């Protein structure tokens, strides 16, 4: 079996009894890719203590044969029959699924298939979800290299995009320029719909891109990222057309101080909620109390949002190998907003900032 699958079983053995008689069924595209490094829009990954199977249809079967290691690739026209055969072969008594991904329709289909098996049933336990989330939160060396590359592309594309930003351009035109440059530099796509929020739109944390034209004295909040070989990046910067006024400078300075405060808390063993609380308390102690409208950060990997979550109610604890954002912001309704976002890696003794983009006030 692959190292990642062995890691999943190590996590599962701490949660599930009689694992030798248990089958784990993975249906989500992202988790299949994580465990096999093979991308397919359809298919199933079946894990047992004895053997693992990647069940595919004819569209993907031949391609997978030469790419997937540590897993037996199976061509199947009838998944129900394949699941039943494997269940009976290994004397399976329980089947676990990803409760966060399986629809009611699919769960019903699996239950009906297992009625034909020998004393086997579908469990509603979320142990498989927990094991997968725990494993994915700590990045491997290869994953880290891809995320660093994604962030480097983001950095270079962002800087090149700024060279063309000027009054009269629309938010949409700026976003399209970033996407064009990112793909030119090797990105598969953007990792989420880019945010280019100008003027009053910057006071909305997740403003939708519009055809609003950039003005001569505008604030522009840019939140961008790319997908490189399946792995995501995320970064936010706030820039100014013309010299910012004193209030804008004050808010920018406070957001940067809040981010630095968060950095000072990052090390293994720290509760994620403690970082969020520190940042929130810092901002709420200023005249801008209540203007920090989202959590301090989130994990980034195969998904743009995953564990660990840097929020006030998070139960996650930092471990070496975790990658997440630190993105404090202050949003003043009807005026403007400022957000500064970097991605960081937890190391054995602290953290490494994966984002090298300038954080001094940028005036265009």
Q: Write the DSSP string, 58-107.
A: TTTHHHHHTT--SSEEEE-S-HHHHHHHHHHHTT--EEEE-TTT--HHHH
Q: State what percent of residues in the chain have pLDDT above 90.
A: 91
Q: Name which of 361, 294, 354, 286 is nearest 148 in CA terms.
A: 354
Q: Does 314 have pLDDT greater than 80?
A: yes
- Omega before residue 262 within 30° of 0, cis: no
pLDDT greater at residue 70 or residue 232: 232
**Exposed, middle or buried by CB within 10 Å (0-12, 13-18, 19+), for 122?**
buried
| pLDDT reported for residue 16 | 86
Phi and psi angles of residue 113, each rounded to the nearest 5 degrees, phi first: -65, -40
Question: pLDDT class for 117, splitting at 50, 70, 90?
Answer: confident
At CB < 8 A and 24+ separation, what contacts does 147-150 make? 147/228, 147/231, 147/232, 147/233, 147/300, 147/301, 147/323, 147/343, 147/354, 148/354, 149/186, 149/228, 149/229, 150/187, 150/191, 150/225, 150/226, 150/227, 150/228, 150/231, 150/232, 150/233
Average pLDDT, integer, range 250-274: 98
pLDDT band of 13, cuts 50, 70, 90: confident
Residue 317, φ and ψ in degrees, nearest 5: -125, 135
According to CATH, what is the number of the domain 3-136?
A: 3.40.350.10
Confidence of residue 6 (pLDDT cuts 50, 70, 90): confident
Task: Kindly list the domain boundaries of the chain, sorted by start residue.
Answer: 3-136, 138-363
pLDDT tens readout for residues 82-110: 999 999 999 999 999 999 999 999 999 99
Q: Each residue of 175-218: pLDDT tens digit?
A: 999 999 999 999 999 999 999 999 999 999 999 999 999 999 99
For the cut 80, the answer to whether the pLDDT of residue 1 exceeds it is no
The pLDDT tens digits for 315-328 are 999 999 999 999 99
Q: How confident is the model at residue 3 (pLDDT cuts 50, 70, 90)?
A: confident
In 3D space, the residue among 246, 267, 292, 286 whose CA is nearest the CA of residue 352 turns out to be 267
Host H or E run for residue 301: none
What average pLDDT does the segment 229-246 reach? 97
Q: Would you state the pLDDT for residue 83?
A: 94
Second-level CATH architecture of 138-363: Alpha-Beta Complex (3.90)
> Which phi and psi (to 5°) does residue 341 adopt?
-135, 125
Same fold for the pair 3-136 and 138-363: no
Percent above pLDDT 70 for the chain = 100
């Amino acid at each position: 079996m692959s190292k990642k699958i062995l890691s999943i079983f190590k996590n599962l053995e701490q949660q599930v009894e009689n694992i030798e008689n248990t089958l784990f069924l993975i249906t989500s595209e992202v988790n299949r890719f994580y465990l096999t490094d093979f991308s397919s829009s359809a298919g199933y990954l079946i894990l047992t203590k004895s053997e693992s199977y990647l069940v595919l249809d004819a569209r993907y079967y031949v391609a997978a044969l030469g790419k997937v290691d540590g897993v037996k690739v199976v061509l199947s026209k009838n998944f129900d029959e394949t699941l039943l055969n494997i269940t009976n072969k290994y004397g399976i008594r329980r089947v676990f699924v990803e409760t966060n991904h399986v629809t009611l329709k699919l769960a019903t289909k699996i239950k009906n298939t297992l009625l034909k098996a020998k004393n086997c049933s579908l469990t509603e336990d979320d142990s498989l979800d927990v094991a997968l989330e725990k494993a994915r939160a700590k990045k491997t060396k290869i994953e880290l290299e891809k995320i660093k590359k994604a962030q480097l592309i983001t950095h270079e594309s962002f800087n090149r995009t700024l060279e063309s930003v000027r009054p009269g351009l629309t938010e949409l035109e700026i976003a399209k320029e970033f996407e064009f440059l990112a793909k030119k530099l090797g990105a598969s796509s953007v990792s989420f719909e880019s945010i280019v929020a100008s003027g009053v739109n910057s006071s909305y944390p997740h403003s939708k891109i519009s055809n609003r034209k950039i003005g001569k004295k505008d604030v522009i909040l840019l939140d961008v990222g790319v997908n490189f070989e399946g792995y995501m990046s995320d970064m936010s910067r706030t820039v100014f057309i013309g010299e910012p006024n004193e209030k804008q400078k004050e808010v920018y300075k406070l957001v940067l101080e809040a981010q630095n405060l968060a950095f000072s808390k990052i090390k293994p063993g720290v509760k994620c909620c403690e970082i969020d609380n520190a940042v929130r308390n810092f901002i709420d102690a200023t005249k801008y109390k209540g203007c920090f409208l989202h959590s301090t950060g989130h994990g980034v990997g195969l998904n743009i949002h995953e564990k660990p979550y840097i929020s006030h109610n998070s139960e996650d604890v930092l471990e070496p190998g975790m990658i997440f954002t630190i993105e404090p912001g202050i949003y003043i309704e009807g005026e403007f907003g400022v957000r500064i976002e970097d991605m960081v890696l937890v190391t054995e003794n602290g953290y490494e900032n994966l984002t090298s983009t300038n954080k001094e006030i940028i005036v265009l």
